[in-house]
Amino acid sequence: MPELEKNVENFANKNINVHEDFRLFLTSMPEDYFPVSVLQTGIKLTTEAPRGIRSNLVRCYAEYTEEMFADCSKPEQWHTLLFGLAFFHAIVQERRKFGPLGFNIRYEFNDSDLDTSVIMLKMFLDDQDDIPWDAMLYTTGQINYGGRVTDSWDKTCLMAILRKFYAPEILEPDYFFSESGTYYSPLEGTLTDYRNYIQKLPVVDNPEIFGLHDNANIVYQD
């Protein structure tokens, strides 16, 4: 780090010939030992994590392509379950903001958990004549996401949430993720249809979608 700091300072030295097309790109997690002068000298770009169910879903579906969306032997089930999986990912991400009401321990679920689960979901649908619900629950809940969970009650909570999205009922037209009926998985449609539906979701999440009482927002706001 001291050598990096010295080199960056030398870029401004008129006696050193720096090519006009030269650029230095650095990426780093927030660390105390990263030189402050390098941060002050350069142009900084940061990526903020999405906040809210809708923002999480928008980010997921912005990365999906038409080819990926159509590449499955069971397109109707694939579209519905893919949305359910993305919704589950958004739920576990957002529950952390409620502190101990969400999970006893704050877990760092990330995009790799979702990406791995998406790959396995497609594999299960393509390779099996019937949808293997138990296998999907185990690999996604116990391994991909559950591998990070150390508290037994948190594991129970995680699996209970996943069962709302990995269940035969999700393929029925009158199945909703919440009592209000605001959240559900469209049974069929193009990638654009799903994106349009996501844009219509509430900006502010009602605690009911997390299985929490309305008063949970008081804890979050404090």
Name the residue with tokens 């960056």: 8
Higher pLDDT, 186 or 118: 118
Is the alpha carbon torsion for 208, 212, 215, 218 positive or negative? negative
pLDDT exceeds cutoff 90 at 49: no
Predicted confidence band of residue 6 (pLDDT cuts 50, 70, 90)? confident
pLDDT at 209: 86
The mean predicted confidence, pLDDT, of the chain is 87
CB 185 within 8 A of CB 87: yes
pLDDT at 205: 83
Joined tokens for residue 198? 């996501």
CB 59 within 8 A of CB 25: no
pLDDT exceeds cutoff 80 at 102: yes
Range with the poorest average pLDDT among 19-28, 139-148, 159-168 = 19-28
CATH class of 53-221: mainly alpha
pLDDT at 220: 60
pLDDT at 40: 83
CB 4 within 8 A of CB 38: yes
* Integer angstrom CA distances of residue 221 from 84, 98, 105, 144: 28, 9, 19, 30
Q: How many Å apart are CA 196 and CA 127, to the nearest integer?
A: 31
> Domain limits of the chain?
2-41, 53-221
Task: Express each pLDDT in 211-220 by its tens digit.
Answer: 877 777 666 6
pLDDT exceeds cutoff 60 at 222: no
Q: How many Å apart are CA 106 and CA 10, to the nearest integer?
A: 43
Predicted confidence band of residue 38 (pLDDT cuts 50, 70, 90)? confident
- 3-8 average pLDDT score: 86
- pTM value is 0.77
- 168-174 average pLDDT score: 90
- 114-136 average pLDDT score: 93
pLDDT at 221: 61
In DSSP notation, 76-104 reads HHHHHHHHHHHHHHHHHHHGGGGGGGT-S
Task: Express each pLDDT in 136-162 by its tens digit.
Answer: 999 999 999 999 899 999 999 999 999
Q: How many Å apart are CA 199 and CA 193, to the nearest integer?
A: 10
Higher pLDDT, 137 or 44: 137
- 62-91 average pLDDT score: 91
SS3 213: coil
